[in-house]
Copies of this chain bind each other. A is one copy, B any other.
Amino acid sequence: MIRAFRLAFFLALPALAGFLSPIRADEGMWLFNNPPKSQLKSKYGFEVAPAWLDHLQKSSVRFNSGGSGSFVSADGLVMTNHHVASDALQRMGTKDRNYYRDGFHAKTRAEEFKCEAMELNVLMSIEDVTERVNGAVKAEMKAAEAFAARRAVMAEIEKESSEKTSLRSDVIAFYQGAVYHLYRFKKYTDVRLVFAPEQQIAFYGGDPDNFEYPRFDLDFTFFRVYENNKPARVEHFLKWSKEGAKEGELVFVSGHPGRTNRLNSVAELNYFRDTGYPFLLQRLNRWEVLLNAFSGRSEENARQAKEFLFSVQNSRKARVGGLAGLMDPEMMGKKEAFDARLKEAAAKDEKLKEARGAWAAIEKAEKVRAQLIRPYTVLEGGAGFNSDLFGIARTLVRASEEKPKKNQDRLREFRDSALESLELQLFSEEPVYDEYEIIKLADGLTFLAAELGYKNPVVVRALAGKSPQLRAAELVLNSKLKDVGERKKLYRDGAKAILASKDPMIALAKSVDAAARQIRKRMELEVEEPKRQAYSEIAKVRFALEGINAYPDATFTLRLAYGVVKGYEENGKKIPAETDFAGLYERAAEHLNKPPFDLPPRWVEKKSKLDLKTPFNFVCTADIIGGNSGSPVVNRNAEVVGLIFDGNIQSLVLDFAFTEEQGRAVSVHSKGMIEGLRKIYEAHNVADELEGR
């Protein structure tokens, strides 16, 4: 699945915003105050009317937990994905009621179930404040002063706005800081669950079908926003299309793509292709095999490893798709042409001369990165000590050293602003399972030795003259860090307590920390910092060339994408644009109804009630990425024809560049949603509300 956008990514890539131009095809995640009018006009004969745009904007909803949604009734009904809602669904469950697994249906409004800690935002207005922000930054200021002045004026603008309008007001940088917009949001915090299907039909096909197509997922959930304890009356909501998405039709996606890296230079992509992705995949493969083998041994093992395993599988599929894109000469050719165009512009324009060395600087940094990545990953990335207890030990050891320092001198995860969430994690009562810890740590130590060499002093200290298995068992079984009280004591008592500790895991964390910190420093100074500076110069070149005629990189703000409902060809086979209910039952039968292809019981019982030719999922060419999960797909009349929930495997390169040869966004079909709601769930109240009956 294109996971709901998370502020902290698992195995994240560096966050560097970018873009690719000139714009062709159905590319782009466009700002609502700068839509692709000319492209839509010339290619599809579609006029973007201001009222149409305003209506779509105010019908769109951002899930601040990281996802998208839309109003689909005047009474504040909100549509999103089951996988965007899954955190809320899991939190709401009790021992006896597993809403996440079994679904939920409020037959009346009284039954609608309030979700804790949810915030939905609706974008009400956009105002360009670039001049005011830049006006506060004087030419004579040093970098730190300029940074502070910019922060200050942004805070001032936000404060003024929220006082004046009572709306949440955020100043947001686009185009790597070339443009600042003030976004005002209406906030909804009383959010209630209306309907969710079983997780098994929402994520039908599990990992094998994840990122694949054809597909059969009913990945939807409905909430309702309330105000003053009553359903909110919303002026703008999306009507339901009678026909639903049709092959060849122009469609729009209004949602919140989380992050793209389309400015990445060819040197960085070459690094990913030649070193970064192959090494990451090696690690993901290793973990997937390890966790699968462990999970196969018992149901309890499977339960313990499930979350990590799924996360590894999801990442693995994403990277396999990404690597395939990086090995596609057409995609890379485009990126080369793009780099060349920017270089040429920088070479011609004296005002852009600072950028002339940027590409070489990135190339140099990527070479260093290729040298450092393997030891960095095992030492500082912790892959060589893969266990929760080691992570806890390292945090305690480092906290004892970092906390006494001045705030600005600390490692970033120990800054005052980060301590609250760090402590929350450190003191979590989440159980630690011995055997699971041991197999992960033994594998990590084996990996450490393979990467650094068996005779490397860090490895020798880490293994302490034992085999990885025996050493891991000794470390895990003899550590007291499973006890949260022990962690609290060590954290509170700091350096003295750490020094006095006899805990073997603490000792291990201490013994590798100098080497880990050293390689982290090198990565920061020799890779990250020169790249940050270089990309900022490249961004200036691009902005000088195109201004806001191109769309900015994704920033988890509302964007408009468009495309066509369209199949594609794969391995010589035509993959049709749509699937239908008949296909779902065929898929289950093909798999003898075995997990993860088993149907929930009511889907078996009620099969005969269904019109099996009803469309289920479909693909279109719109430009989406993580964070777009839950975005509505609408037609020219701004009516709902579908609901984005995934990208196919060929779309996984969209982080770097748009491609529509095979890359597709995957949606639930609007007719499939109604068919399911009415015939399987008998949720006529929800379906009636959607269809405006």
A592 at the interface (CB under 8 A from B): yes
Given contacts A285-B282, A590-B299, contact A467 B434 (CB under 8 A): no
Q: Which residues from chain B contact A442 at a C-beta distance below 8 Å?
A: 324
On chain B, the residues within 8 Å of A450 by CB distance are 274, 278
B residues in contact with A466, CB < 8 Å = 329
Determine whether A544 belongs to the interface, using a CB cutoff of 8 Å to chain B: no
In the complex, residue of chain B having the shortest beta-carbon distance to the beta carbon of A275: B450
* Contact in complex: B571, A446 (CB < 8 Å): no
> Is the CB of A480 closer than 8 A to any CB of chain B?
no
Nearest-neighbor residue (CB-CB) of A281 within chain B:
B286
* B299 A592 Cβ-Cβ under 8 A: yes
Q: Interface-forming stretch among A3-11, A182-190, A288-296? A: A288-296
Residues of A453-475 contacting chain B, CB below 8 A: 453-454, 463, 465-470, 473
Cβ-neighbour of A571 out of B274, B286, B299, B434 (below 8 A): B434
Residues of A whose CB lies within 8 Å of any CB of B are: 206-209, 212, 270, 273-274, 278, 281-282, 284-286, 288-289, 292-293, 296-300, 316-317, 323-325, 327-330, 434-435, 438, 442, 446, 449-450, 453-454, 463, 465-470, 473, 477, 570-572, 590-592, 596
Residues of chain B lying within 8 A (CB to CB) of residue A274 = 450, 453-454
- The reply to whether A296 and B329 form a contact with Cβ atoms under 8 Å apart is no
In angstroms, how far is the closest chain B Cβ from the Cβ of A287?
A: 9
CB distance from A467 to the nearest CB of B (A): 4
Closest to A437 in B: B571
Complexed CA–CA distance, A473 and B568 (Å)? 15
Closest to A300 in B: B590
Q: What's the Cα separation between A454 and B468 when bound, in Å?
A: 35
Nearest-neighbour CB distance to chain B for A454, whole angstroms, equals 6
A590 to B473 CA separation, bound complex (whole angstroms): 24
- A-side binding surface: helix, strand, loop or mixed? helix
CB of A585 to closest CB in B, whole Å: 15
Given contacts A323-B446, A438-B571, contact A297 B473 (CB under 8 A): no
**Across the two chains, which residue of chain B brings its CB closest to A445?**
B327
What is the bound-complex CA distance between A9 and B263, given in angstroms? 49
A285 touches B278 (CB 8 A): no
**Are B454 and A328 neighbours in the complex by a CB distance under 8 Å?**
no
**Do A469 and B590 touch (CB < 8 A)?**
no
Residue from the list B209, B278, B468, B592 in contact with A324, Cβ < 8 A: B468
Chain B: CB-nearest residue to A287: B285
Contact B296 A316 (CB under 8 A): no
20 contacts across the A-B interface (CB closer than 8 A): A206-B296, A207-B296, A208-B293, A208-B296, A285-B286, A293-B317, A298-B590, A298-B591, A299-B591, A299-B592, A324-B442, A327-B454, A327-B463, A327-B467, A329-B467, A435-B571, A438-B571, A473-B571, A477-B571, A477-B572
What is the distance, in angstroms, from A553's C-beta to the closest C-beta of chain B?
A: 24
Note all chain B residues with C-beta closer than 8 A to A596.
296
Which B residues touch A289, using CB under 8 A? 284-285, 288-289, 316
Judging by beta carbons under 8 Å apart, are A467 and B328 in contact? yes
